[in-house]
Chain A
């Protein structure tokens, strides 16, 4: 069974204080790993897809990296508007279009 574990569950940072969120996964053949952002009262919003170990993607203050067992979402010099829940999901090879989601990391960036 595919499993995704995210840590920490919650993270509070001061504005400008860089940090990383972790996503550990167990999957029978990784087809893709996805990061989403979810704001309160809204649906998840797609951020990145990573397909193979060593791959990196960047968007503004966010950078996602992937190894064979985990992915990191690095947040550089965060701002209050980066506050949200960040979800990680995996798609297993042969699973068509199904995603298995982690429980998320709730990030709060204080001004």
Chain B
């Protein structure tokens, strides 16, 4: 199994540009989580999906952030417009069923907004 796949691994963009981060979950996992990690705030849950349906997006910081999961094999996290304070590492994690403890994390996307 290839594990959780995220792309791109690194993204450098300018303030105001649209950024799209992508995640391919492990086959058979029906829960998907988007996290953001910064030195100041640590690892924060942004949104999670169950069976492709957004369950809780209370962690999404602003309307500039949106996430979709059009099918069981793909999810996106979009930031439009991006701001320097969005610079962070964004992780996608997936799990099977209700077993949250066995969330498998992807390698992350390191985002730098200039």
Task: Mark A residues whose CB is within 8 Å of B.
Answer: 32, 34, 41-46, 49, 87, 89, 91, 96-104
Measured CA separation A91–B48 after assembly (Å) = 14
Knowing that A46-B103, A91-B100, A97-B100 are A-B contacts, what are 8 other residue pairs whose CB atoms are under 8 Å apart, sorted by A's residue number? Answer: A32-B101, A43-B107, A44-B43, A46-B104, A91-B101, A99-B103, A101-B43, A102-B42
Q: A44-B43, A103-B42 are in contact. Are A97 and B105 (CB under 8 A)?
A: no
**Taking the complex as formed, is B67 at the interface, i.e. its CB lies under 8 A from any CB of chain A?**
no
Task: Classify the interface of chain B: helix, strand, loop or mixed.
Answer: strand
What is the CB-to-nearest-CB distance from A110 to chain B, in angstroms, rounded to a whole number? 23
Chain B residues contacting A44 (CB-CB under 8 Å) are 43, 91, 105
What is the CB-to-nearest-CB distance from A62 to chain B, in angstroms, rounded to a whole number? 16
Q: Of residues 16 to 31 in B, which have CB atoms within 8 Å of A's CB atoms?
A: 31
Kindly count the residue-residue contacts between A and B in the assembled complex, taking CB atoms under 8 Å apart. 52
Q: A34-B101, A46-B102, A104-B42 are in contact. Are A97 and B95 (CB under 8 A)?
A: yes
Chain A residues contacting B93 (CB-CB under 8 Å) are 43
CB-nearest residue of chain A to B4: A43
What is the CB-to-nearest-CB distance from A7 to chain B, in angstroms, rounded to a whole number? 14
Q: A43-B107, A43-B108, A98-B56 are in contact. Are A49 and B43 (CB under 8 A)?
A: no
Contact A45 B105 (CB under 8 A): yes
Residue among B31, B48, B50, B106 making CB contact with A43, cutoff 8 Å: B106
Q: Mark B34-53, 1 if CB is under 8 A from A, else 0.
A: 00000000111100101000
Chain B residues contacting A98 (CB-CB under 8 Å) are 45, 48, 56, 100
What 8 A-B pairs have minimum CB-CB distances, sorted nearest first? A43-B105, A101-B43, A49-B101, A103-B42, A97-B100, A44-B105, A43-B91, A34-B101
Most buried by A among B98, B106, B108: B108
